[in-house]
Structure 1
């Protein structure tokens, strides 16, 4: 048995309740202990989870108990599986709030493979609030693009973008909306973002593969061209367990 895996597995004992002090099933106690290790950085993103055998040896739990704990972490997106190579801790994505970047480009620079599951791509009339935010008249139309965004086949976000139909041909939108806007000469250069903590409703939970009531970040992005014209309104729901937004703060002089 791999000594490193056994050493890591043995650390879980510090986070398990004493025998008989918890009414939770053993698999839930083990899953909770592993979560704490991830939160404290003792198991880092991309690091292999201790094998079932090493966890069994360290805790004395049965294979069924250990496997149930691992499956619980997998369902919550805390780990991912590599066929034939075991389970690994899912990396937490940090996105700086000061950088205007699309999902595809952000994943590419992290070495992850970005993909999408299309929910809607259509042209139609804007809603009243979209007319105001995009500066459109009643006779103009918008392109609607709704997708589940994935990194290495794991759902991270739901994006619902709206842009003026004159800004981009819907047929040119393949992976990245920003690539299509750039090709048409309508790439935004600045944006305002509003973030709000929320809990996933049933639809969000199903699309993101998480439990109803799990934490999510609701984000609205309002992007502009260099001439000040509004070009994009995107409303997104990001998984709270996989996405952090980082802001650098400076003392005002």
Structure 2
């Protein structure tokens, strides 16, 4: 069904249905639910909706503003209004050291993994430096696509010394659970976050268009005695995460 047919007022506008902007807001919301207006697509311009529905632009603007307050649409200055993505938006604290599986479970979401790589390899120069390995040491690597409620969220590539993770095949869901059972649960970590544009391979895995915004996070985790546990390089969807840090005023 076209948006013109869907918004034809004789199909839904009622004299006793309440304020006209409320009825329009409800109809547009139904359009999102029914797939007439798809996630990420732009809404028709206000003047076009006004012409189709025989409403004033003030009424249309009020309905769209109500949708934006509900998070159903996103208004962008100079670009118009867009249906919000159906990708869950995760607010991730930078002050807590938790695994992806733990984060999703805490939010009541189901996490799954699609394995990209898992095994023991010769370390790269970056891994030798980050994990404080000898050049002739081996390194355990696990790489996987992480999903939440079926939506791809991040590509996670973790490297550990074989002392910390002698058998990468032991990791089935949570890496931190395996490390905790072995007595190697990280106690602290350093993270570096940078903004990137997703390259074709990563964008394909994350089911977004190449060139879309993403986040690259490098994390090095340590035991309480200072030994390095893991070196993780992750790529996150830019539209799926908000990273939050609590800051306190420094004492002079």
Global fold match (TM > 0.5): yes
Q: Which has the larger radius of gyration?
A: 2
- Report the counterpart of residue 134 of structure 2 in structure 1: 137
Could you tell me how far 1:9 is from its partner in structure 2? 3.8
Matches within 5 A, 1:93-242: 93-168=90-165, 169-242=167-240
- Report the counterpart of residue 8 of structure 1 in structure 2: 26
Report the count of equivalent residues: 198
- Runs of 5+ in structure 1 lacking a partner? 21-32, 50-71, 80-89
What is the alpha-carbon distance in structure 2 between the residues aligned to residue 102 and residue 113 of structure 1? Answer: 13
Under a length normalisation based on structure 1, what TM-score does the superposition of the two structures give?
0.71
Moved segments of 4+, more than 6 Å: 36-39
What is the alpha-carbon distance in structure 2 between the residues aligned to residue 138 and residue 215 of structure 1? Answer: 35
- Runs of 5+ in structure 2 lacking a partner? 1-11, 32-42, 49-60, 74-81
Could you tell me how far 1:95 is from its partner in structure 2? 0.5
1:250 aligns with 2:241: no
1:37, 1:43 within 8 Å by CA — same for their partners in 2?
no
Could you tell me how far 1:10 is from its partner in structure 2? 5.2
1:43 aligns with 2:76: no
What is the alpha-carbon distance in structure 2 between the residues aligned to residue 191 and residue 5 of structure 1? Answer: 51
Match for residue 85 of structure 2 among 57, 64, 78? 78
- 2:123 is paired with a residue whose SS is coil
Under a length normalisation based on structure 2, what TM-score does the superposition of the two structures give?
0.71
Deviates more, 1:127-136 or 1:188-197: 127-136
What is the alpha-carbon distance in structure 1 between the residues aligned to residue 194 and residue 112 of structure 2? Answer: 25
Could you tell me how far 1:39 is from its partner in structure 2? 9.7
Shift in alpha-carbon separation, 1:126–1:10, aligned structure 2, 3 A: closer
1:118, 1:146 within 8 Å by CA — same for their partners in 2?
yes
